[in-house]
């Protein structure tokens, strides 16, 4: 009888472990569907996956440090977990309202419709920047990117991903880290267009007095086409 109870207990423990690991991998399972529906970027997808796993780790540490397994009986602990696993309805409504407001206002400011995934990414970036400020301030390159609207400043480019802070006057040529010598470029324009021998040359002062010399045309800050007048 004792041996039978032992194997039953082991089977229950194994089943519980499988169920717990299913929750661990739940984010990875639903990410493809969420990415397809809301057009989530790779940054947001990684935040979802890491957030679920970080929640498990933090919850395990808190449970171990507080000794919850010895202080709570099984049934009350289950009720507690089930109750805190789902946000209150008023919190969910507030989040949906904030998300819709961000999507509408940023889309209106940018002059194009924003997808739910893009609006969510803006909210997550704002949260990240807020925490960085509380932890001692923002890195300089983030201040430059925030000034430039978190997008590549090259005329015609709308990239919001893989952003770099580019020195207009190269550091190798004595350029400083001053804000007027820094502008935001995407990785492609920075590594290939400027430093990779591509047809892009940037001069002037950021952010309102830059000059972008491309292969066929020249632009000023604000995507303004510069018309070169021929000298008679």
Task: For residues 77 and 113, state if they share a domain.
Answer: no
Count the domains in the chain. 3
Residue 231 domain-assigned? no
Q: Is 113 left (phi over 0), alpha (psi -120 to 50) or beta?
A: beta
Q: Which domain holds residue 167?
A: 150-226
Task: For residues 94 and 81, state if they share a domain.
Answer: no
Measured distance CA(160)–CA(163) in Å, rounded: 7
Task: For residues 20 and 76, state if they share a domain.
Answer: yes
Residue 30 domain-assigned? yes
What is the pTM assigned to this prediction? 0.42
Task: Mark which of 134, 168, 192 sits at the end of a domain.
Answer: 134
Residue 52 domain-assigned? yes
Contacts of 58 (CB under 8 A, 6+ apart): none
Measured distance CA(120)–CA(37) in Å, rounded: 13
Among 221, 217, 150, smallest CA distance to 186 is for 150
Residue 142 domain-assigned? no
Residue 139 domain-assigned? no
Task: For residues 67 and 95, state if they share a domain.
Answer: no
Q: Where are the alpha helices (DSSP H) in the chain?
A: 2-24, 26-38, 42-66, 68-71, 74-84, 89-110, 116-134, 140-147, 187-188
Task: For residues 31 and 71, state if they share a domain.
Answer: yes
Task: For residues 156 and 126, state if they share a domain.
Answer: no
Task: For residues 50 and 77, state if they share a domain.
Answer: yes
Task: For residues 110 and 79, state if they share a domain.
Answer: no
Among 140, 208, 210, smallest CA distance to 176 is for 140
Residue 196 domain-assigned? yes
pLDDT by position in tens, the chain (length 232): 444 577 777 777 777 777 767 666 666 777 777 777 667 777 777 777 777 777 777 877 877 777 665 655 554 555 555 555 555 677 678 778 888 888 888 888 888 888 887 888 888 777 776 666 555 556 778 889 989 988 999 988 988 888 999 999 998 888 888 999 999 999 999 988 898 888 899 999 998 899 999 888 888 887 777 655 444 4
Task: For residues 64 and 101, state if they share a domain.
Answer: no
Residue 125 domain-assigned? yes
Task: For residues 101 and 80, state if they share a domain.
Answer: no
Measured distance CA(157)–CA(154) in Å, rounded: 6
Task: For residues 14 and 78, state if they share a domain.
Answer: yes
Among 125, 129, 127, 100, smallest CA distance to 114 is for 100
Residue 38 domain-assigned? yes
Please tell me whether residue 66 adopts helix, strand or coil conformation: helix
Task: For residues 52 and 97, state if they share a domain.
Answer: no
């Amino acid at each position: 009888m004792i041996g039978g109870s032992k194997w039953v207990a082991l089977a229950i423990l194994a089943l519980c472990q499988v169920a717990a690991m299913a929750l661990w991998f739940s984010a990875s399972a639903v990410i493809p569907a969420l990415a397809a529906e809301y057009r989530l970027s790779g940054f947001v997808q990684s935040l979802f996956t890491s957030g679920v796993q970080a929640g498990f780790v933090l919850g395990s540490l808190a449970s171990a440090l507080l000794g919850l397994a010895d202080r709570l009986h099984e049934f009350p602990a289950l009720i507690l977990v089930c109750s805190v696993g789902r946000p209150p309805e008023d919190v969910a409504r507030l989040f949906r309202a904030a998300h819709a407001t961000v999507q509408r206002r940023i889309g209106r400011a940018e002059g194009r419709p924003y997808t739910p995934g893009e609006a969510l990414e803006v909210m997550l970036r704002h949260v990240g920047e807020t925490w960085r400020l509380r932890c001692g301030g923002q890195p300089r390159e983030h201040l430059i990117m925030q000034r430039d609207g978190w997008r590549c400043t090259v005329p015609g480019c709308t990239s919001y991903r893989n952003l770099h802070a580019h020195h207009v006057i190269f550091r190798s040529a004595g350029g400083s880290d001053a804000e007027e010598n820094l502008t935001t470029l995407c990785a492609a324009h920075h590594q290939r267009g400027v430093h990779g021998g591509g047809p892009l040359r940037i001069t002037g002062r950021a952010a309102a007095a830059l000059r972008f010399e491309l292969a066929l045309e020249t632009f000023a800050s604000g995507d303004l086409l510069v018309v070169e007048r021929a000298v008679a």
